[in-house]
Amino acid sequence: MPETCIYIARSSAIAARALAGEMMVMNSADSTFFTLNEVATVIFQAADGRTPLREIVRDQICEQFDVDPEQAQADAEQFVAELSGHGILLVSNQPLASETP
Amino acid sequence: MSLMSEVGQKAFNLGVPLTVHLDVTYRCNERCVHCYLDHDDHGEMTTAEIKDVLDQLAEAGVFFLTFSGGEVFMRRDFFEIVEHARRLMFNVKIKTNAVMIHEEEARRIRELAVDTIQISVYSHRPEVHDAITKLPHSFERTIKAIRFLREQGLRVTIANVLMTVNSSDHMGVQKLAAELGVHYTLDPTITPMMDGDTSVLSLRIPGEELPEIFHNPALVGSQEEFCAPPKPASAEDLEGYSCSAGHSFCYISPYGDVFPCVQFPLPTGNIRQQKFLDIWNLSPQMKEVRSIQAKDLTVCSSCSHVASCSRCPGLAYVEGNMRGPSTADCEKSFYRTGVPTENMLRQGLSKPRAISGNTAPLIQIRPIQIQPITVPA
């Protein structure tokens, strides 16, 4: 059975900025505010709607950080699900058009 | 400490301009009796110039961006500017009188995911509000706009500036805000006009009436906490700074002049002549503002209120010394707690002297001529 691809894109309703290596993210819909650690920031910045999550983990997370690939993938999926629940990331099994305000 | 406070402290410690207030115009369709602005256009930044400023601010790490004026919608390119700001992923707040916001504008603001819209409402009585704005039917138009914005699910805050002519209306405005489902904020600060004219200060609520406001739990929350006598200052308090002006906050005028704060008319540079980050990092004026700790204050360092006073270094600067007391804040500290300030004691006063203003000229309105900063190679 072919592996399902997960595509992620940043919502157009959010504000974001890096501060000393961490990403501040705020959802204007409900003013929820997050800071993302270094690894989560890499995933967030790579969320262009076109690159599959597995590729982001393989090419960026595993390249930049000393992590076990399977564990990294599992953590990334959990992180993506959490941010998607807060409306920060859009998730699909098809490529997503990048949202612009 | 909340996550937001932690981030604010981090930006403060690192000297990152986390928050910027950008006035896109001083032009306005209202003529509010207390307004400190000259409403002529002395050479506003163009659309392209503002977009370039926004690019620079994003690069500098600015996250919270407030667009204000004047009336922001007097600029025909305002939505183009907001669109650019949102593309750069700023958290955008808009301050407006809202009279030019109709259904279409409200929808566009929602599409652009603007965080908050702050709207000035002076009274729940249309005749009082309109008399302050000097624009007939402005109350009706503003309230209608608030309803349009609420229909779009947007967060709205009513800002209620209190002065002599509407001092008894704050409860009515609070009730109106609750009916409209919006937040309410009150501000008793009246600022001298930018050309140095202090006649508007006669609209300030007399000090004797401040206790009524400061002891109203509906306005200040816990009265016990808010009006508590000042605690002795600790060594840490004396190492502290007045506010975020110049540390993690700054103000940019429609002409590109950069100041430590909206209420701090100390010119630090012009963005048409220098890069924003060069002004922010290298301006001697910015550095001076940043260097002032509570222990350096000429009078306030020995004041019993030093740890809890809302002392505004900008208002102190307008009074002649950015390290000196801000009389308006001395007055607030006294009427909040009943404890005289060091400034009062030194002048032998048992209650603050009525503020009649001063003649310190403010220069914000004109493009500033200062020497460009030399940037090290």
User: Which class for B121: exposed (0-12), middle (13-18), buried (19 or more C-beta within 10 A)?
Assistant: buried
* Residues of B whose CB is below 8 A from A19: 7, 10-11, 14, 16, 18, 61, 63
Q: What are phi and psi of B68, to 5 degrees?
A: -150, -170
DSSP assignment of B173-203 equals HHHHHHHHT-EEEEE------TTS--GGGGG
Q: How many CB pairs under 8 A join A and B?
A: 57
Q: CA-to-CA distance for B229 and B246, rounded, in angstroms? A: 29
Per-residue pLDDT, A21: 86
Is the confidence at residue A1, as pLDDT, over 60? Answer: no
* Residues of A whose CB is below 8 A from B113: 12-15, 28-29, 101
Per-residue pLDDT, B44: 96
* Mean pLDDT per 10-residue segment, chain B (377 residues): 88 96 96 87 96 98 96 98 97 98 98 96 96 96 98 96 89 95 86 72 79 76 81 87 92 96 92 97 96 91 89 88 89 88 88 55 36 46
Model confidence band, residue A28 (pLDDT cutoffs 50, 70, 90): confident
Substitution target in A10, A14, A28 with the highest count of B β-carbons within 10 Å is A28
Per-residue pLDDT, B359: 37
Q: Which of A17, A31, A100 sits opposite B61 (nearest CB)?
A: A17
Partner residues linked to B173 by β-bridges: none
Per-residue pLDDT, B196: 66
Per-residue pLDDT, B1: 75
Per-residue pLDDT, B129: 96
Per-residue pLDDT, B169: 92
